[in-house]
Homo-oligomer: A and B are copies of this chain.
Amino acid sequence: MGDIFSDRISDVPRSFIREILKLTLDKSVISFAGGLPNRDLFPVQEIKDATDRLLEEAGKDILQYSASEGYLGLREWIADRYRSKNLIVHPDNILITNGSQQGMDLLGKTLLNDNDDIIIEEPGYLGAIQAFSLYRSSFHPVPVSEEGIDLDAFHNTVTRHSIKLFYCVPNFQNPSGISYSEGNRQTIALMLKGRRTILMEDDPYGELRFLGKEKSSFYQLMPEYTLLLGSFSKIVAPSFRIGWIVAHDKIMEKLVIAKQASDLHTNYFCQRIIHRYLRDNDIDKHIRKIREAYGRQRDAMVTAIQEYFPAEVLSTHPEGGMFLWITLPKGLSAMTVFTAAITQKVAFVPGDPFYVNKNDVNTLRLNYSSVDEETIRTGIQRLGNVLKSLIIKK
């Protein structure tokens, strides 16, 4: 059973992060490597109440097979939520998926032919690189900064290539924590006007803003060509794997076929539990609690970085989400820092997996959402010492 594999599967990068996470199983290691929400904020009791009530009232229903589109009640809730943010979406244009990761897979299945040109962010979300690699995309990475996408590079790429798809995470991006400014979004929408590029707006962190003002969604700026991905993983519970795609009728029709072929439908039991939880509880109050906690954790990390990192080391200043991004002095490989850091019992993700075809980069990702403030301080101090010793050596 040697050469039995498909060509596409050998194109997909293995998640390097998984390997790193194995090293962090040692409890004495402070890990900023994960991408996990803060487990202390999970609404355990509320989920228990919702589940108990549902099983009592509709036990047989919620254990049976269900529709490929997803539970209508939940799709209505999502549509209502968008309406409260001035986005007009009909429940029929929402497909429930196994987290937004599956949204990418289904859109890849539905839209992408081999070698289709797509723009991704650099650095970009590893899960998207993996998902689109399966459909043998030709990647065009365009750099992002604290302002958003690099507009010159973006313009060059859309004029030189026939871009099928632009995948972006405009709010509190994974891995960098950056957000697109209002102007950046407007300019992108203008640049894409008259082209047939589809913009895939992945927004798993949008609700987790603790600083600054809410920005326009691309779905508002260019509704006809935007596909919107959402998720309950960061505001309710990731283990449920419940996300969604917002798409036009024509695309929805094909997406439902792709969904049937992929797994018939998303876990219905958990769709009903989330819906019941949302109905019986004040989700805005819960989200405020998460925002406040992550805001404090982010502040603890930014403050500790200012105190303990050498001045040559640069950091992003996220207004929300779970990550921040570090740029080391040129020539210092994040992999070298990682190896040294592990011996000092602190871990992070070197930037490499967030690039297509780049190695030994001088950037790295830090996660603050899953580590408490005191531990953040200790961990950043340890990492600061490692950085100082390596930068002096250079």
Contact = CB atoms under 8 A, between A and B. Distances in A.
Interface of A: 1-2, 4-9, 12, 14-15, 18, 35-37, 39-40, 42, 44-45, 47-48, 51-52, 55-56, 59-66, 68, 97-99, 101-102, 105, 109-113, 127, 130-131, 133-135, 164, 196, 198, 224-225, 233, 237-241, 248, 250-251, 254, 257-258, 260-270
Nearest to A196: B4
Question: What are the 8 closest A-B residue pairs judged by CB atoms, nearest first?
Answer: A44-B59, A239-B268, A130-B261, A63-B237, A98-B263, A102-B263, A39-B60, A42-B63
A269 B47 CA distance: 11
A12 B106 CA distance: 13
A267 B98 contact: yes
Nearest to A7: B113
Contacts of A241: 263-268
A239 B40 CA distance: 28
Given A127-B260, A127-B264, A130-B261, A111 B42 contact: no
Contact of A198 (B2, B4, B196, B240): B4
A110 B9 contact: yes
Contacts of A240: 63, 267, 269
Contacts of A12: 257-258, 261
B6 A64 contact: no
A102 B1 contact: no
Contacts of A250: 1-2
Give the secondary structure class of A's interface: helix
Contacts of A1: 196, 198, 224-225, 248, 250-251
A262 B55 contact: no
A262 B44 contact: no
24 contacts: A1-B225, A4-B251, A5-B254, A12-B261, A15-B257, A18-B68, A18-B260, A35-B65, A39-B63, A44-B55, A48-B59, A52-B52, A63-B240, A64-B238, A65-B239, A98-B267, A101-B263, A102-B262, A130-B260, A239-B267, A241-B265, A262-B262, A267-B267, A267-B270
A158 B5 CA distance: 20
Nearest to A224: B1
A194 B223 CA distance: 56
Given A7-B113, A12-B258, A55 B59 contact: no
